Amino acid sequence: MAPSGLPHALCVELARTAVADGAEHWSPEAALARAVHHRRTLLSPVVNATGVLLHTNLGRAPLALDHPARAINIELDLATGERGSRQRAVGGVLASLCGAEAAMVVNNNAAAVLLVLAALARDRQVLVSRGESVEIGGGFRVPEVMEQSGARLVDVGTTNRTRLADYSKALGRKGADVALVLKVHPSNYRIEGFVEGTSVEQLAALAVPVVADIGSGLVDASCPWLGGPPPAWLAGEPAARQTLAAGAALVTFSGDKLLGGPQAGIIAGRADLVAVCSAHPLARALRPGAHVLLALQRVALAHLDRSAARTVPFWQMVVAPLDELRARGDAVVRAAGVGDLVPSEAVPGAGSAPGTVIPSLAVRVPGDRLAALRAFDPPIVARTRDGATMLDLRTIHPSDDEHVAACLRACVS
């Protein structure tokens, strides 16, 4: 390994690129600087001090993926010794968690929506409220996903008001061939004022299945794993268990948002519909690997045994009391010899519970120190406000407090 931390072969390639670029002042020092710069473009752990709990640019829910370097019975039935389904084990746990007949896993929620539409509605119509024909992060647009799936989008209602009668009218049109109704959680925005929507319970009275893309992955609105009432900022956030109980045939949601697991998309609901999705050719192309499934299984089991608030990092951040954050912040300020502790507002992030905040505390340091903090190893990603750098303690793991203090001391001095 070279001094830059890169393999020799990569360093040689970088040197050749520099020569081809016509570097005028080539030197061993310049070569090392170029290699170090390249190393910092690679994936690596960072300290999230932004106050965004599920930061899409930082991997959303933090989660350890470690497990022994052993084979896993991902497609082996241990009882019979025959080949089994990679969906059975984790799908069964997720179904129990959501109160569903069955569940399956793909590589993200966009894939879950795509698979459901392709498997259940190809060459047929899907009704979507105009107010829910949305674009979310990364250019994910419902109409474009619909087009790629082979389903035909039918807009109903208006942007701000869609009634049950609008869906019924579309179903009753001459020549209508409606496969399902898709209800989409707006995720990262809200429409307020003169608005009206149609609930899943109302839509369930229609003659076609209702598929609810709840997006954020709250599995139970009562949050039984917290041992108390759910956080106020979750009020109104759709949850898988309650959405299915209201009559949805299927729900789709992310595994790496409010569930707190690895990147994954989950389809849960009626067993016959999940089976059709599982048998579709796209299911193989969209399936996750053993590491993701094992990590997702651990997170789902933690929710079922109600230990998630203690063992799932996302929920550990959520439940951290302000007194604990204050004690940590005071210690960081003392050790750094700079800054002060101020009230802050963390946000769930990743389009979850849009417009809501979570009370928090942050270490405030005068000036813009963002670039200097990113230069440390591991880098610290923070934010600025009113000419000062803010490091929100709710998203900083306690084990990183000493590193944060040392870096603040170094970059200010």
Give per-residue pLDDT as tens, 65-77. Answer: 888 899 999 999 9
Give pLDDT, residue 159.
75
Burial of 356-390, coded b for 16+ CB within 10 Å and e otherwise, reads bebebbbbbbeeebeebbbebeeebbbbeeeebbb
- pLDDT tens digits for 222-281? 999 999 999 999 998 999 999 999 999 999 999 999 999 999 999 999 999 999 999 999
**Is the pLDDT confidence value at 207 over 60?**
yes
> Candidates 3.40.50.150, 3.90.1150.180, 3.90.245.10, 3.30.9.10; correct CATH number of 47-62+315-412?
3.90.1150.180
- In the chain, residues under CATH classification 3.40.640.10 are 88-311
CA angle 94, 96, 101 (to 5 degrees): 95
State mean pLDDT over 389-408: 98
Lowest mean pLDDT segment, chosen from 27-36, 275-284, 299-308: 27-36
Between 246 and 197, where is the model more confident?
Answer: 246
- For domain 88-311, say whether CATH 3.40.640.10 is its number: yes
CA distance 149 to 289: 23
| Residue 137: pLDDT band with limits 50, 70, 90 | low
Q: Tell me the pTM.
A: 0.92
**What does the pLDDT read at residue 244?**
98
Is residue 347 very low, low, confident or very high in pLDDT (cuts 50, 70, 90)? very high
Amino acid making up residue 251: V
pLDDT band at 299; cut points 50, 70, 90: very high
CATH 3.90.1150.180 residue ranges of the chain are: 47-62+315-412
pLDDT of residue 187: 64
